A and B are shown apart, each in its own frame.
Chain A
């Protein structure tokens, strides 16, 4: 038995199809790997920056999951008071901050500013004036 008949009898067609499939699959994987190679090269060349980004991302997630505060003021109130302190300039006077916050319509300026102090967002300079703690974010 020779030729096409022999191929058919010994599952040659099926083997050919499987062989072609394997080769094509391999070529597909290889082409995909080559197409993404520039990303791996970039990752390797900038590995320090990427590691830093990764660390920051993880730390942010941990902060979001475990807040270490329990204050009643909202982010909007915090932002409003921060804006006022920015306009006042630093270091700022606490009594003046309370007066201005009152004029800007803050509902409970005394207790709100007290909570901002307790949250370490407003910190004393030891000379009677105060700073906004930029290192602390809620």
Chain B
């Protein structure tokens, strides 16, 4: 089942996107229900899927037992799908039941390359999020 365009448009990351681009993106993003304790990514494994929180609460755990928690709609997980060496730096675990949008990293890369102006803006936002989390995985 494809994602609702309005749902995508309401997310901070895609706010500046035009409707047509959102429609394209909605076709490739899949909504996914998650349950408490479910693991979405594993640290050190190849980063293949990128997630956006629609609802629920998540914990990202890093090396040395460090962790951060994500509680807000629109927060991103699996950022390593767009950063070399494309290995997850954290393990994402659902703290509660919730819903996420998922997209294969390679598809996301293609989308960013095909929409270069928008892709730059999205990558800038992702970069700032990575910088915020830098302390946790260094």
Contacts and interface: CB of A to CB of B under 8 A. Distances in A.
* A pairs with B: yes
B9 to A, nearest CB: 28
Contacts, number: 53
B95 A111 contact: yes
B43 to A, nearest CB: 11
A94 B107 CA distance: 33
A117 B61 CA distance: 15
Contact of B95 (A113, A126, A129, A130): A113
B62 interface: yes
B91 to A, nearest CB: 8
B127 interface: no
Do most interface residues of chain B lie in helix, strand or loop, or is the interface mixed? mixed
A110 B96 CA distance: 7
Given A108-B36, A110-B37, A124 B93 contact: no
Contacts of B37: 110
B98 to A, nearest CB: 10
A129 B66 contact: yes
Given A110-B96, A111-B36, A118 B66 contact: no
Contacts of B59: 94-95, 98, 110
B64 interface: yes
Interface string A82-106: 0000000000011110100000000
Interface string A114-129: 1001100000101111
A125 to B, nearest CB: 10
B95 A96 contact: no
A93 B71 contact: no
Nearest to B57: A114
Contacts of A94: 59, 61, 67, 69
A124 to B, nearest CB: 7
Interface in A63-88: none
The 7 closest A-B pairs by CB, nearest first: A128-B66, A93-B65, A114-B95, A94-B67, A95-B61, A110-B95, A128-B136
6 contacts: A94-B61, A110-B37, A114-B57, A114-B69, A127-B135, A128-B135
Interface of A: 93-96, 98, 108, 110-111, 113-114, 117-118, 124, 126-130
Given A95-B93, A113-B95, 4 more contacts: A110-B94, A114-B69, A114-B95, A130-B67
